[in-house]
Amino acid sequence: MNDMQIATVPVRLSDKGLRVTLPDGREGYFNYYWLRDNSPTSFDSATRERTFDIFHLDEPPKAETAEVEGDTLVIRWQGEDHVSPYPMSLLAAFADAKRRPDPADLPRKAWYGDHYPDIARFSQRELMADKRKVADWIEAMLREGVAILTDMPDSDEALTETAHLMGQVRPTFFGEYFDVRTHIKPTNLAYTAKALELHTDTPAEEVAPGVQFLHCRANTVEGGGSLFADGVAVANNFRERDPEGFRLLSQIDIPFYCEHDTYDMRSRQRVIELDEHGAVSGLTISQHMADMFDLPQTLLDDYYPAFCRFGRMLQEQRYVMRFLLKAGECITFDNHRIVHGRAAYSATSGSRYLRGCYVDRAEMRSTYRALVSEGRFKG
């Protein structure tokens, strides 16, 4: 027997955890609670859920013995008739407390007013037939926040079945879908022929719906052009141009409302939304749904001018993409990032009809991960 054959990977047990040499030579420390709770034996392979209940251990978990056999760490637990095998690759992935890699965490690509020819476009027929195209569509949504679907059938069902490619339809207090055309007794500015300033939808909800679908069924009126702008592009430039204004808009909550005979929805939101890394992830803005600011009037001495500077910047030519949505197209966009609006139109000049619905962003990311990654129990 030579030295190579008897060489063992050292494992050092201590009171609350153990240290083991990882395949790359580093030493990793692992807490016994974490090890016991995340033993591969704790999970059911059919449901993929944890079936072990750590709350019902009589004693704090502690290793009786632990040794590395091949590429597996094997622990026998004190006071339990239980053995846990851990692939060393699993331990290596958690040794540095790094967040689990997320395939849906893609870098955002800011776009400007000239983006229309470059918008990601997908045929609805192809999306229905090919899951890889669905992944491409969602990838464009995660990176750029906007995409146009073409070849939409002229039916109510087409919108719902298209939304279902991404996730469940997320209702709002307007219901499962909404129709944008001129209403005789409008409850919302969208349902008139007037111009609609750049906004995000239903900011008065605690969590506004994530992804908006607007299926254009008819658009033969004079006017009624669509306006879209990338909140990330504008807010990133605002951060450089106006650091104090950026600070106010990204730190102070303002009230939004949506009120009519049978509802009175209210929330407080920040105009500029930052992600966990401090990067701009989106906007919440709507002049027609901003409530009367109930902030100290002296704070408003600074806040209001900054709010107006930002609101004017949103409308600058360089940011605003202008085009006419055509019948048979469906624009999909991130309602927490992309601001949208429309030019006024002449209601008697033809017909204009858009049907819309929403899917939440978490559903979109979930579908994307399932399409592009193996998942922890596959493979």
Tell the smallest beta-carbon distance from residue 109 to Fe ion (Å). Answer: 23
Tell the smallest beta-carbon distance from residue 201 to Fe ion (Å). Answer: 4
Q: What's the burial of 189, exposed, middle or buried (CB within 10 Å: 0-12/13-18/19+)? A: middle
Tell the smallest beta-carbon distance from residue 151 to Fe ion (Å). Answer: 24
Q: What is the CA radius of gyration of the chain?
A: 27
Residue 339 contacts residue 283 (beta carbons within 8 Å): yes
Choices 93-101, 113-121, 148-156, 201-209 (CB under 5 A): range interacting with Fe ion:
201-209
Answer positive or negative: Cα dihedral of 18, 22, 26, 28: negative
Measured distance between the N- and C-terminal CA atoms of the chain, rounded to whole angstroms: 37
Q: Under rule CB under 5 A, which residues in 224-253 are in contact with Fe ion?
A: none
Residue 90 DSSP code: H
Tell the smallest beta-carbon distance from residue 306 to Fe ion (Å). Answer: 24
**H or E element: which one contains 306?**
helix 297-314
Residue 201 touching Fe ion (CB under 5 A): yes
Tell the smallest beta-carbon distance from residue 154 to Fe ion (Å). Answer: 22
- Report the candidate in 324, 320, 321 with the shortest Cα–Cα distance to residue 350: 324
SS3 168: coil
Closest residue to Fe ion: CB criterion:
201
Any idea of the CA torsion for 341, 345, 351, 353, to the nearest 10 degrees? 10
Residue 360 touching Fe ion (CB under 5 A): no
Pairing status of strand 120-123 against strand 146-150: parallel
Nearer to Fe ion, 150 or 188 (CB): 188
Choices 66-74, 198-206, 290-298, 321-329 (CB under 5 A): range interacting with Fe ion:
198-206
Nearer to Fe ion, 319 or 333 (CB): 333
Residue 334 touching Fe ion (CB under 5 A): no
Nearer to Fe ion, 62 or 342 (CB): 342
Nearer to Fe ion, 197 or 201 (CB): 201
Residue numbers at the binding site for Fe ion (CB under 5 A): 201
